[in-house]
Amino acid sequence: MAIRPALIQLAGIHFAYRPHGTAHALPLQPVLTGLDLTLQEGEKLCLTGGNGCGKTTLLHLIVGLLTPTAGKVIAFGRERCHESDFHEVRKRVGLVFQYADDQLFCPRVIEDVAFGPLNLGKSPEEARAIAEKTLQRLGLWDFEDRITYKLSGGEKRLVSLAAVLAMEPEVLLLDEPSAGLDENASERLVQILNILPQAMLIVSHEQAFLKQVSHRALQLENGIVKPA
């Protein structure tokens, strides 16, 4: 069986942070301690672990929102070390944040979903067409003129996913995508994720959800990953 190309590789990653509200003289708190992880083309990989173990930190390291204290972040065959290295990565990797309100900021849904394509240089007409197509693809035909802040929690999560998909990423990073969803919304999300072609790294606590959408499972514990 042919080995699929690696899209994302984390090699020997260490990361530590300083607890909020503490003096700078206090030592850093280790979170990741030599972590290795590979996401292959077409793979849907899930990541579980306790609260505060570093799952969100790991996602942020992949797109350069945080910088490891040691180790290598390799994306699309190139090591990424500096901020400029991650400009390309952020065009090719879509991060859906844990809290939808951190991702949605335009008054209307169509504006939020079109924002990414506009930033990628599309004309307003092209961006709107992409946004409309993306919403239709997710079954959100009637959401275009909805007011973002009036959406339910589940609706906001689906619109956040649409906003990321409109940028046509090759990889999706999903941080607790099913958290707080009712049964119908969760089933709808499962259906959507299972038909998407992108490689995915999905962070979640919900085992039943993960079993429906992932090919492989890892657990983050004591700063490293192991088979779940």
- 34-227: CATH architecture: 3-Layer(aba) Sandwich (3.40)
Q: pLDDT of 58-71, one tens digit each?
A: 999 999 999 999 99
Q: Is the pLDDT of residue 22 over 70?
A: no
Residue range 183-195: mean pLDDT, rounded: 87
**DSSP letter at 205?**
S
Max CA separation in the chain (angstroms)? 54
In the structure encoding, which two tokens stand for residue 193, read together?
Answer: 């994720």
Residue 110 pLDDT class (50, 70, 90 cuts): very high
- Helix (H), strand (E) counts: the chain: 7, 10
Per-domain boundaries in the chain: 34-227
For residue 21, pLDDT beyond 80? no
Note whether 8 and 95 are within 8 A (CB). no
Partners of 85 in beta bridges: none
Q: How confident is the model at residue 218 (pLDDT cuts 50, 70, 90)?
A: very high
Lowest mean pLDDT among 39-43, 67-71, 140-144: 140-144
User: Any alpha helices (H) in the chain, and if so which ranges?
Assistant: 55-62, 86-92, 109-119, 124-137, 153-165, 183-195, 207-213
Of 141, 130, 154, 138, nearest to 195 (Cα)?
A: 138
Alpha carbon distance 113, 102 (integer Å)? 14
Average predicted confidence (pLDDT) for the chain = 89
pLDDT (0 to 100) of residue 35: 96
Q: What is the pTM of this model?
A: 0.90
Instruction: Output the pLDDT for position 20.
Output: 64
Q: Which two tokens stand for residue 8?
A: 């994302």
